[in-house]
Structure 1
Amino acid sequence: MSFDLAVCAEMVFTELPLLDRVRRIDELGFAVEIWSWHDKDLDALAATGARFSSMTGYLRGDLIDPDTADDVVRTAEDSLKAAETLGIPRLNLHTAELVDGQAARPRQRATGRMWLTAQRALERIGELGAAAGVTFCLENLNTIVDHPGVPLARAKDTLALVEGVGHPNVKMMLDLYHAQIGEGNLVELVRRCAGAIGEVQVADVPGRCEPGTGEIHYPVVAKALRDIDYRGTVGMEAFASGDSAVALAAFRSAFS
């Protein structure tokens, strides 16, 4: 059983303009992931003919904050229109807004109010996704290295939120790079998250480069995904340690 492999255009072939990165990834046989959409020429991206797998599904706001959760929902609706232009089936969410990778409004502890606010917002977003035929995926993050100050960011938290919402159009963006830094035990995590996974993202630790450059033995993780009968997308959201084409080949090898 093979996976649908995707590559984040924000992180490889960085010597090229974005449109050329997209074309190169497509030429090598991968689907394409992007981050934000509001600062990009969507029509030009669509004209490349590439197949896009996911992108960010909101512009502002914190899912966990009653004062800004409505902003997440409103901009999720805007993101659906952008997703239609590119034919994107999955939109990515975080529990809190990120600005240059950092929490826009850092918080050091989670509260019951945060859980309830996020759940209610995700229920509304799930209905938007159902109407558009798009799945919103809540991504787990690490707060040790990359995203300090983001509450409810661990995989066990995002899993609890997704299971609590119980909506078919709200799933996990299971990021195994972040999970390795914050939690580890990746094979068991894959098993635990089985029914909640909308997409899997990978990079090695440390360094956030392609599989094979760090401590994670991704062929074993790939077997765990096959064992739970996961048939979806695995996206390389990683930098290339050297030549980008070589990095993509290593990624393909780890999941083939």
Structure 2
Amino acid sequence: MNLSVCAETVFLDLPLAERVAVLHAAGFGVEIWDWWTKDLDELAATGATFTSMTGYVEGELVDPDGADRLLASAERSIAASRALGRPVLNLHGTGLDDRGLPVRPVEVVTGPMWLAAERTLRRVAELGERHDVVFVLENLNRAVDHPGTPFAAAADVRALVAAVDSPHLRVNLDLYHAQIGEGNLIELIGACAPWLGEVQVADVPGRCEPGTGELNHPALAAALHAVGYRGVVALEAFASGDSRAAVEAFRAAWTV
């Protein structure tokens, strides 16, 4: 598996480009979030391998106008991603504000909403095919970090991705969010395996590095390896103390 680290959450005392350079020098890939706030040429100059970035700026899956805005901003994201190679482009069930909360909260997802989301994601996958990029749809937890987000559970994400059934739309299985929202992570890994495009990790509770919470990260790594996953596993976690120790704890826990 290819290990990557989110530069938004570690080495926070350094400018972003320096964080990226430190992670690259340590042998990790790098993921970022909102590309439109960053100097992408400066980041590219570090020589790092970028594995993931946010794949839309605005929009949502279920509203026709929101879907059009999502597709337009996804196309902008594709153009921006070229500076960083070919990172996967991350999506959520709806647009999130700067606090991670849904722009339009949804408490009950109806049947028509499911069908609308599938139609929008088919358009996303077609866009990805035209430009030879991969979008990933991430599960989120509603209990702690993202209340009111529709299609948040990993089971929901898996169902939508499986319905579209395109190599240009995959699941971003975030095991931190899944532990809070669903649990039973080894079974969940097996269920999502055919559609995985990325895996993100952090410990629970606290969203810090492996070894700070309740998750058995080596067992999860072994389960992913057993189902044949050889893609990116990214640490999207805050350091409980020293960032270098945190990323090394991640490496030790997730090297199979």
Normalised to the residue count of structure 2, the TM-score between the two structures is 0.98
- Structure 1 distance, partners of 2:133, 2:194, is 17
1:11 aligns with 2:9: yes
After the TM superposition, which of the residue ranges 140-149 and 118-127 deviates more from structure 2?
118-127
Residue ranges of structure 2 left out of the alignment (5+ in a row): none
- Structure 2 distance, partners of 1:178, 1:66, is 28
Residue ranges of structure 1 left out of the alignment (5+ in a row): none
1:187 aligns with 2:186: yes
- Structure 2 distance, partners of 1:197, 1:65, is 26
Q: Secondary structure at the match of 1:32?
A: strand
Specify the alignment match of 1:96 in structure 2.
94
Identity, % of aligned positions: 58
1:51 aligns with 2:49: yes
- Structure 1 distance, partners of 2:157, 2:126, is 18
- Alignment-mate amino acid for residue 193 of structure 1: C
Specify the alignment match of 2:244 in structure 1.
245
Q: Secondary structure at the match of 2:170?
A: strand
Specify the alignment match of 1:205 in structure 2.
204
Show structure 1 runs of 4+ deviating over 4 A. Answer: none
- Structure 1 distance, partners of 2:176, 2:86, is 23
Shift of 1:212: 1.0
- Alignment-mate amino acid for residue 48 of structure 1: T
* Residues 64 and 95, structure 1, Cα contact 8 Å, conserved in 2: no
Equivalent residue for 2:22, pick from 14, 21, 24: 24
Normalised to the residue count of structure 1, the TM-score between the two structures is 0.98
- Structure 1 distance, partners of 2:130, 2:232, is 22
Shift of 1:64: 2.3
**Deviation readout 1:71-117 (Å, 9 max, x if unpaired):** 11111011000111110330000010000211111111101121111
- Structure 1 distance, partners of 2:118, 2:87, is 22
- Alignment-mate amino acid for residue 15 of structure 1: D
* Residues 53 and 87, structure 2, Cα contact 8 Å, conserved in 1: no
Show the 5 A alignment for 1:128-167. Answer: 128-167=127-166
- Structure 1 distance, partners of 2:156, 2:90, is 16
**Deviation readout 1:218-238 (Å, 9 max, x if unpaired):** 100001001101000000000
Superposition RMSD on alpha carbons, in Å?
0.8
1:73 aligns with 2:51: no
- Structure 1 distance, partners of 2:97, 2:58, is 9
- Structure 2 distance, partners of 1:125, 1:67, is 15
**Deviation readout 1:101-146 (Å, 9 max, x if unpaired):** 1111111110112111111111111111112221100000000000
Specify the alignment match of 2:232 in structure 1.
233
- Alignment-mate amino acid for residue 118 of structure 1: A
- Structure 2 distance, partners of 1:64, 1:6, is 32
After the TM superposition, which of the residue ranges 86-95 and 182-191 deviates more from structure 2?
86-95
- Structure 1 distance, partners of 2:177, 2:158, is 14
**Deviation readout 1:19-61 (Å, 9 max, x if unpaired):** 1111111111100000011111111111111110000000001
